[in-house]
Amino acid sequence: MTQAKKLYIKTYGCQMNVYDSERMAEALGGQGYVETSSPEDADMILLNTCHIREKAAEKVYSELGRFKGLKAAKPELKIGVAGCVAQAEGEEIMRRQPMVDLVVGPQSYHRLPELEARAGAGQKALDTDFPVEDKFDHLSDRPKAKRGPTAFLTVQEGCDKFCAFCVVPYTRGAEVSRPAARVLAEARDLVERGVREITLLGQNVNAYHGAGPDGDWGLARLIRELAKIDGLERIRYTTSHPNDMGDDLIAAHGEVAELMPYLHLPVQSGSDRILKRMNRSHTAEQYLRLIERIRAARPDILLSGDFIVGFPEETEADFQATLALVEAVRYGQCYSFKYSPRPGTPAAERALVDEAEASERLQRLQALLSRQQAEIQAAMVGREVGVLFEKPGRLDGQLVGKSDHLHAVHAQAPEALLGRIARVKIVDSAPNSLAGVVLDA
């Protein structure tokens, strides 16, 4: 028997990249690769890159530089770059780092086996097309390996919103939804393999409009059908745009027990002037009314968001409007960033606000967000929540998992509860986790 080739994948960025890396590992499994956690052992190194953070491409080039020694010692080692930096940089990657054998954009992963074969034959392999077919179509012949209790499932990709700061419409391309039957089949397969919680992924997941047997399905319909799968106990989805938060989806939050009370709904800024310049096409007031309607459907829903401070032309008054919006919403969890220009986006041409000023605003915003997060976590103490235990905790006899509201919870619990949902009473709150006591072991 020939020895299995070893694949080392390093994943950067969002959950969709995590999902894509799993699919790529499965696809390359069909080519005789098994995964390794050490690049030194690898026959192929694949960087699944992210373009959202500052100087993303430069960081990939320096990461690649670190593999030069490995490649020199083992010339048959293949080095590949996937993900959004691969899409954005394309051929430039092979020009600047000639040791790279393979460059594949996020919409071309179904061509990975073919690209690997080309690279194996000593050719340079590059694919950054936006093909029309489903990139997961040909990646589905995977072994039925047992899975952990939680999984991501990509249902939609790309974005047509063109927020002025964002590279996603350029790197992930136009908005495309996977057909409903395919999503349902993949979900059933995951459940058969032990998954209890599925997070539906999409850059604009609530814009989902996949073909169904009776016309296009929106995300709400998809969630209602997924909820009927026996053994699928929890459903989440991320990331959503306020303008695609339809009445049916809001209603589903009140009606579908499996749909967890957590919603990531980025607003980016609380100033209408800045929202307009960001091309967000909604106002702060519209966002706040939307939150009210969502909370009317599901009063205990925990909201999370993304914010950008120091966007071009942001004044102290604009920033105050952001703080006021945060005060009004009360978020359970947020990500906040200082604006930084992404080449090729409209905002990249605009004058920057003073760096020190932007940093100071970010600190003030983060102080407020941390305070809100701590208050909301503290308010969980004494409450009973469902916890899906995922793995052993740091202490003996401890398990950790996520609550319905996506809080990390640890508790003394028998191993038999791994992969199961238990009722847990929250007894303490630390900065990034809650402590609980299992009620019905």
Selected binder of ligand SF4 within 81, 125, 155, 166 (CB under 6 A): 166
Binding mask 356-395 toward ligand SF4 (x if CB under 6 A, else -) reads ----------------------------------------
Between the alpha carbon of residue 55 and those of residues 22, 59, 62, 302, 360, the distances in Å are 26, 6, 11, 32, 21
| Whether the Cβ atoms of residue 222 and residue 180 lie closer than 8 Å to each other | yes
Footprint of ligand SF4 on 177-216 (CB under 6 A): 203-204
Residue 114 C-alpha from the chain's centroid:
27
CA distance 431 to 378: 10
> What one-character-per-residue DSSP string does 286-316 give?
HHHHHHHHHHHH-TTPEEEEEEEES-TT--H
- In whole angstroms, how close is the CB of 424 to ligand SF4 at the nearest point? 34
Footprint of ligand 5AD on 71-100 (CB under 6 A): none
Please, which residue, 162 or 337, has the CB nearer to ligand SF4?
A: 162
Footprint of ligand SF4 on 227-246 (CB under 6 A): 241
Asked whether position 169 contacts ligand SF4 by CB under 6 A, the answer is yes
Token readout for 279 is 């091309």
Rg (CA), the chain: 23
Q: Which H helix or E strand runs over 222?
A: helix 219-226
| Whether the Cβ atoms of residue 380 and residue 434 lie closer than 8 Å to each other | yes
User: Which span (67-75, 154-162, 379-387, 406-414) binds ligand SF4, by CB under 6 A?
Assistant: 154-162
- In whole angstroms, how close is the CB of 362 to ligand 5AD at the nearest point? 10
Footprint of ligand 5AD on 325-364 (CB under 6 A): 337, 339-340, 342
Selected binder of ligand 5AD within 7, 9, 126, 166 (CB under 6 A): 166
Residues that bind ligand 5AD (rule: CB under 6 A) add up to a total of 11
Q: Identify the CA nearest to 146 among candidates 198, 195, 185.
A: 195
- In whole angstroms, how close is the CB of 342 to ligand 5AD at the nearest point? 5
CA distance 405 to 388: 11
Q: Which residues of 99-113 are buried (b: 16+ CB within 10 A; e: fewer)?
A: bbbbbbbbbbbbbbb
Q: Rounded to a whole number, what is the distance in angstroms from the first to the last CA of the chain?
A: 47
| Whether the Cβ atoms of residue 235 and residue 258 lie closer than 8 Å to each other | yes
- In whole angstroms, how close is the CB of 288 to ligand SF4 at the nearest point? 19
Residue whose Cβ sits closest to ligand 5AD: 306
Please, which residue, 36 or 203, has the CB nearer to ligand 5AD?
A: 203
- In whole angstroms, how close is the CB of 165 to ligand SF4 at the nearest point? 7
Asked whether position 163 contacts ligand SF4 by CB under 6 A, the answer is yes
Asked whether position 308 contacts ligand 5AD by CB under 6 A, the answer is yes
Selected binder of ligand 5AD within 21, 49, 268, 372 (CB under 6 A): 268
Question: Applying CB under 6 A, which residues contact ligand SF4?
Answer: 159, 161-163, 166, 168-169, 203-204, 241
Question: Applying CB under 6 A, which residues contact ligand 5AD?
Answer: 52, 165-166, 266, 268, 306, 308, 337, 339-340, 342
